[in-house]
Amino acid sequence: AAMAHGHGPGRCRCCGEEAAERGAAWGLYLRIDRQRLQCLNERREGSGATVFRPWEERGDRSQFVESDDDEELLFNIPFTGSVKLKGVIVMGEEDGTHPAEMRLFRNIPHMSFDDTAKEPEQTFSLSRDPLGELEYPTKIARFSNVYHLSMHFPKNFGAETTKIFYIGLKGEWTEAHRHEVTICNYEASANPADHKLEQITPQTHFIS
């Protein structure tokens, strides 16, 4: 089997590990709250969600999102915790449908196209990337506590519609601190103290 494979098992394993490591780095798609993920101006409903998938599957050309009325696309991406976003890959066609600009906004849930008039946290001029090889590093200080990411693609390289095959998100994820839980614990631990106070109060009156 090793003969037919072309290179020895040692080298093969090494390639595999490198790819696995690279793939794991782009694992933030697993931390997207897909129930609440939105893509505005997508031609086919639900197609926007398909571009967030494993790095190894970025070459799957059957899954893509295409814009509808014009070339703009807007993704609202809620995460299941807090994310430190470090890099983005945007993969399209080698033609005019490839997005030419990307604007990132943080923590503005349910953004609409009207909201894109706001100043983004960071803007990128994109190059055509049909193989998903170009990584755009973010200003990490601005993206260190992201629970919601909006990605606005305002224009492409001249076509009527924009097509995106894959969006990779690289970074770190931490679990959200659930405030309800903290409050319950706090109340539970505060109750005994309340009772103690009630018991002490009458005695105090009695003394004074």
Residue 38: inside a domain:
yes
Residue 186 domain flag: no
> For 39-76, how does the pLDDT look when each residue is reduced to its tens digit (9 = 90+)?
999 999 999 999 999 999 999 999 999 999 999 999 99
**Would you say residue 5 lies in a domain?**
no
Position 27 scores a pLDDT of 92
DSSP letters along 154-194, please?
A: --BSS-SS-EE-EEEEEEEEEEPP-HHHHHHHHHHHHHHHH
Query: What residue numbers bound the domain in which 59 lies?
Result: 34-175
Domain count, the chain: 1
Q: What is the CATH number of the domain that holds 71?
A: 2.60.120.470
Residue 163 in any domain: the answer is yes
Encode pLDDT of 72-112 as tens digits: 999 999 999 999 999 999 999 999 999 999 999 999 999 99
User: Has residue 52 been placed in a domain?
Assistant: yes
Asked, for residue 3, whether it belongs to a domain, the answer is no
Convert the pLDDT of each residue in 2-44 to its tens digit: 444 444 444 444 566 777 777 778 999 999 999 999 999 999 9
- Confidence (pLDDT) at 14: 53
- 14 assigned to some structural domain: no
Closest CA to 101 of 121, 124, 117, 120: 124
